[in-house]
């Protein structure tokens, strides 16, 4: 499974470096990411998903939370008006691979809805407050930021 994870050369330097560190250390480093505001660390996983057009595996480090034995990620794209490409890929193909710390495994992605989505968004915003600003920037009702649940297969 480790050959599924790779560093995408088209990503910004800091994301490439973070992903490379995560992979090179087998997850011993990079799992905990320094918050941009300097207030400590927050956990990150590596998500490998298949491109909806290319069919190629793409890897991204993403902040995550946990709820009821599943992992939770937020498709915020920094508050952009459109969804991130990785979320569109998950929507087209929910079969993914995760690296959480030193552990790698297959998972299935699903978008949470309604009360579950609201609960999970609040959980994630508690750990990473910028999500609240991202939700406002995304346009509120124009684009509700998806909250994705990743369940181990």
What is the domain-level CATH number for residue 102? 2.30.110.10
Domain, as residue range, for 130 = 2-152
DSSP state of 150: E
Total domains in the chain come to 1
Residue 2 is predicted with a pLDDT of: 60
d(CA 145, CA 134): 8
13-17, 106-110, 112-116, 147-151: lowest mean pLDDT where?
13-17
Query: Phi and psi at residue 20, in whole multiples of 5°?
Result: -65, -45
65-114 per-position pLDDT tens digit: 999 999 999 999 999 989 999 999 999 999 999 999 999 999 999 999 99
Residue 36 is predicted with a pLDDT of: 72
Q: What's the mean per-residue pLDDT of the chain? A: 93
Is 70 exceeded by the pLDDT of residue 55?
A: yes
């Amino acid at each position: 499974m480790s050959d599924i994870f790779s560093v995408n050369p088209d990503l910004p330097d800091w994301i490439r470096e973070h992903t490379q560190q995560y992979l090179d250390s087998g997850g011993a480093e990079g799992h905990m990411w320094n918050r941009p505001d300097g207030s400590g660390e927050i956990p990150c996983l590596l998500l490998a998903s298949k491109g909806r057009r290319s069919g190629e595996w793409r890897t991204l480090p993403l902040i995550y939370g946990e709820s009821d034995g599943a992992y939770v990620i937020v498709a915020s794209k920094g508050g952009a008006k459109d969804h991130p490409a990785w979320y569109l890929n998950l929507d087209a193909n929910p079969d993914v691979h995760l690296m959480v710390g030193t552990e790698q495994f297959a998972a299935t992605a699903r978008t949470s809805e309604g009360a579950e989505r609201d609960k999970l968004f609040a959980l994630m915003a508690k750990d990473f407050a910028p999500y609240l600003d991202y939700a406002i920037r995304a346009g509120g009702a124009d684009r509700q930021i998806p909250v994705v649940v990743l369940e181990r297969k």
